[in-house]
């Protein structure tokens, strides 16, 4: 797994220098999950859990991006009405 402490400074900055960049952090998390899952024992119990873990790890970033886009559309509409 990627060690975020090695990638970030002590001021909670991402590798690109943005403080608390959720988009980049969620991408790193999804990649880390995909690197971690193959290390787990292959059992019946782990089969479904690992599928769900992989799906949900990608959902974090997807949901964030979707909400960011919707917020931009709303703000754009508000600004356009004000003009």
In terms of residue numbers, what domain contains 32? 4-82
CA separation for the pair 37, 29 (Å, rounded): 12
Q: How confident is the model at residue 75 (pLDDT cuts 50, 70, 90)?
A: confident
On the question of pLDDT at 8 being above 50, the answer is no
- Cα-flanking dihedrals φ and ψ of residue 41, to 5°? -65, 145
**Average pLDDT rounded to a whole number, residues 53-80:** 81
The predicted model scores a pTM of 0.58
Structural domains of the chain, count: 1
- Stronger pLDDT, 28 or 18, i.e. the higher one: 28
Tell me if 26 sits within 8 A of 62, measured CB to CB.
no
């Amino acid at each position: 797994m990627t060690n975020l402490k090695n990638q970030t400074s002590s001021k909670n900055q991402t590798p690109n220098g943005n403080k608390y960049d959720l988009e980049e952090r969620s991408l790193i998390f999804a990649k880390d999950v995909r690197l971690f899952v193959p290390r787990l024992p292959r059992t019946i119990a782990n089969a479904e859990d690992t599928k769900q873990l992989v799906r949900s790890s990608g959902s974090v970033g997807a949901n964030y991006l979707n909400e960011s886009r919707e917020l931009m559309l709303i703000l754009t509409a508000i600004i356009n009405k004000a003009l």
